[in-house]
Structures are given as structure tokens and as C-alpha cells.
Structure 1
């Protein structure tokens, strides 16, 4: 899918005990770096990694709803892999050859893909290795977020902010897929 918009991918391997906590923290961190309104910060401590988040009731509800959808999708089926897609868009006037068919359309300018797989370590040694790998992955994910959002390309894709009302001047859409089927 080459639409010209940046696509940032984060791959996670999780276990049943930390799936919700990790996904919640990663989603909050992405939103923290891409919401341009007045953001009240909060911190998530996951596997000894501090991740930034957004302390806003609407954002908390949205993230919790999507994490629960992901959990129900992987918990209820045989597929233990899924994706959470976060799309940032801008509203533009729709162009049409026909009069009366004007209006606004949402044009994506950035896509974040979180690929998550649930595995279950069986021994204490596997558990220890698993936790170290998760800590490393979360640290790398934060570095990807920071590097992208502060890079020239990451800054240049952000459209002009014409509406300074609310926590985000741009529409944010979060889609959950398990087994290539949208859930929630």
C-alpha cells in the first residue's frame, strides 16, 4: 500500500498476562507524540520501561475500547496474532465534477501498525528471556516513535493546523484486526 503517507510498524510479542497493559501503553505513546492540542501527560510503567501517555477521558476510553476489542478477538479464536492500526487524517474539501456533491473527506497522512502476537512462555528461563525481549522491544518502539516524530519527514507530513480546538485538530481512527478481519 504505497500512498505516500509514512507507515510506521511496531512488532510486539506478548503473553496473556501483559497484553492489555503493553498495548494500552504503546497506543497511548503513539497518541502522545501525535496529538497537537493541549495534552495532559501521564506515564505508563511496563516491564521497567516508562512510556508517555495522554490523560484525557475520551482518549482513555478509546484506547481501552480498542485494547478490549483486540483481547476479545485473540482470546476467543484460534488466531493469536492481530494488528492495531492507528491512522491520522486531515479533512479536505472533496473535489467533484458534479455540482452538489461537495463536502469533506478524510485524507490519511500517517499510519501506525502495531503487530501483536501472543505466546506463552512455559519455563522460568523462558519467562525471564521473554521479559528481557519485551523490555528491549518497548525501548526500541519508543525510539522509533521519537525518531520518526522528530525527523524531517515525520514533521513534514503533518498538515497545517487550522483548528486549534480540542486535543487533536486531526481525525484519529483506530482499527483492530485479528486474522485480517476487523473486530470491535
Structure 2
């Protein structure tokens, strides 16, 4: 059982919006969980302004994972998938006899983006876009509520390494139909 917080964002997307929406949501999560010197940016998606991070390494990571998700959705039979972002800290790893044998990543928080791809009919487009816009607004609200809550603040371990944009390892996993893809 996980002892760390898990935050879930549920989205219903279509072919036209899937990449922009996923980029925006990943960017917003990173914006709220990177603790180095962050150069902010914004992204406008369906009338919702989403925060983001202007950093080449993070932008490359986001683009890579969104493309992987897109290819998995296009090539697979399942139209449901997840992008899971796990924030960890490095801790000393000890063997049975309390002998130090290196470091291990210990998760302290996980964000799960559940995405389902649908294709609305043309006459339903406005209603679909409005519902997606509401889901994005709810996602931002969830991020703000969690990161400013006691549980969200206390989940963050002590920052002992101030180099780079993130003092903690970040792992982003893409799953389509429950199967991890690389």
C-alpha cells in the first residue's frame, strides 16, 4: 500500500486536442512540483490558461511522453491510457546487516492522468470542448488544492540538493490499456 499521496486527473480527449491538453496538464503538474529556479510560462488550451515551466529538459520530457502516449493510442486497440508522474527522493539503501549498499529512489508523491480518447460528432463538438475545458479547470483546481494542502506540503521531503530545476528524481510512465510502453 502506498503511504504517499496520489493525485488523479481524469480527462476525456479527442484526436484534435489530445496532445495540447496532455502537454498543458503535464506542464502544470511540473510547475507545481519543481523546486529549483523555475522560469514560468503559460499555455492557453480551450480558453483555460495553464501554468508551465520554460526549461528545455522538462519541455523535451513532456514532448517525448505525450508523443509516446499518442503513438500508443493510435497504434493500439485500447482508447484508454495513463500518464503517471512519480516524484521520488534518493535515500541510502541498506542491506540485511545495515550495511550501506548505495541509493534507492523512494516515492513521495504520484500524479495519475487518466485519459480516454473519444471522437465526438461535429454537432457535439461545442459541448465536448466545453466539458473538456471544465475538466481542465477542475484539474488546475485539484493541483492548487493539493499542493497548498497540509498533506501536499508535508509530502515534500527536505531539499538537501539545490542544483538543477528539480532536487528530486522524476519518473514519467506511459500506460495504454494497462500496459507500460516505452
Q: TM-score, normalised by structure 1?
A: 0.96
What are the residue-to-residue correspondences of 1:1-184 with 2, within 5 Å?
Answer: 2-98=1-97, 102-124=101-123, 126-184=124-182
1:123 deviates by 2.9
What's the CA shift for 1:99? 7.1
Length, aligned pairs only: 182
CA distance in 1, matches of 2:122, 2:148: 40
Q: Distance in 2 between matches of 1:163 and 1:147?
A: 26
Give the SS at the match of 1:102: strand
In structure 2, list runs of 5 or more residues that go unmatched.
none
Looking at structure 1, the residues matched to 77 and 86 of structure 2 have their Cα atoms a distance apart, in angstroms, of 27
Contact 2:92 2:100 in 1 (8 A): no
Check 1:99–1:149 CA distance in 2 against 1; reply closer, same or farther (3 A cut). Answer: closer
